[in-house]
Amino acid sequence: MKNMKPEAGGFFQRVRQWHPPAFAPGYKSTVMRAPQKAPIAFPQTPSEITGPVFGREMLGELDNDLTVNYAKSGESAIGPRIIVYGRILDENTRPVPNVLVEFWQANAGGRYRHKKDGYLAPLDPNFGGCGRAITDEDGNYWFRTIQPGAYPWPNGINDWRPAHIHFSVFGHGFVQRLITQMYFEGDPMIWQCPIVRTIPDTEAIEGLIAALDMDSTVPMDARAYKFDIVLRGRRSTMFENKLEGN
């Protein structure tokens, strides 16, 4: 046991102006989904914080390579190949190890492999669109995939979602889950998206945009994008399922 003073951080008050309102008429789904009463916070129960836990033995060999984890032998997904990497951090920018990170996305044409996706873009027979990874002792994660395409959605007459990848970050148990989306640097459609426009702070939106990192590319193979996720604090990453606080 080390004879050291325990590390303590300050209390990070949540900044409400940083987060989108639950009711945002421009994003039509919120009209019916927005709560009518003030939110109430409940502490987690023992069953929620004691299990099950995640370990690397649960991962498949190709879980973090979406270019081949659904493909036929010798084939791969169609589209611009990219590597997405980053760190999971707490409010004091300390790494969070052994976090299960799941990710899912549309294919290069902007279509999901889902029976209710009615977009006319074709499905890629070699792309399933989902994967997972567990952070290492320094909070690092990474995965290989193809850059997803934009797609239309029935929010307005001509609304489109910019290219994005969904992330699900788990704590020690399945009920400790945060969900967010990652966008791509330089995409002009980000600023036209009705969902993104519900976020009142430009800096908060920029925290959802992955930076192109040409120094981490694989020559003649894949570009790289860096996307860190901050779990808590004044400048936490935007989490769409935890507007009341994470």
Q: Are 224 and 214 in contact (CB under 8 A)?
A: yes
**pLDDT (mean) for 103-115:** 96
pLDDT over 90 at 66, yes or no: yes
Percentage of the chain modeled with pLDDT above 70: 84
Q: Are 240 and 180 in contact (CB under 8 A)?
A: yes
pLDDT over 80 at 243, yes or no: no
Residue 32 has what pLDDT?
86
Residue 153 falls inside a structural domain:
yes
Catalytic residue among 70, 85, 141, 151: 151
Q: For the whole model, what pTM was predicted?
A: 0.86
Catalytic residue among 70, 112, 141, 183: 112
Measured CA to CA, the distance from residue 222 to residue 214 in angstroms comes to: 10
CATH number, domain of 170, equals 2.60.130.10
pLDDT over 60 at 10, yes or no: no
Q: Look at 36-50, 73-87, 202-216 and tell me which has the smallest mean pLDDT.
A: 36-50
Residue 234 has what pLDDT?
72
Residue 31 falls inside a structural domain:
no
Strands (DSSP E) along 68-204, which ranges? 81-89, 100-105, 130-134, 140-146, 151-152, 160-161, 164-170, 177-184
Total domains, the chain: 1
pLDDT over 50 at 165, yes or no: yes
**pLDDT (mean) for 78-90:** 97
Range of the domain at 98: 60-230
pLDDT over 90 at 159, yes or no: yes
Catalytic residue among 81, 144, 161, 232: 161
Residue 64 falls inside a structural domain:
yes
Q: Is 19 a catalytic residue?
A: no
Residue 156 falls inside a structural domain:
yes
Among 141, 150, 146, 138, CA closest to 190? 150
Q: What is the mean pLDDT of the chain?
A: 87
Residue 235 falls inside a structural domain:
no
Among 148, 161, 164, 166, CA closest to 209? 164
Q: Is 27 a catalytic residue?
A: no
Catalytic residue among 14, 113, 166, 172: 166
Q: Is 166 a catalytic residue?
A: yes
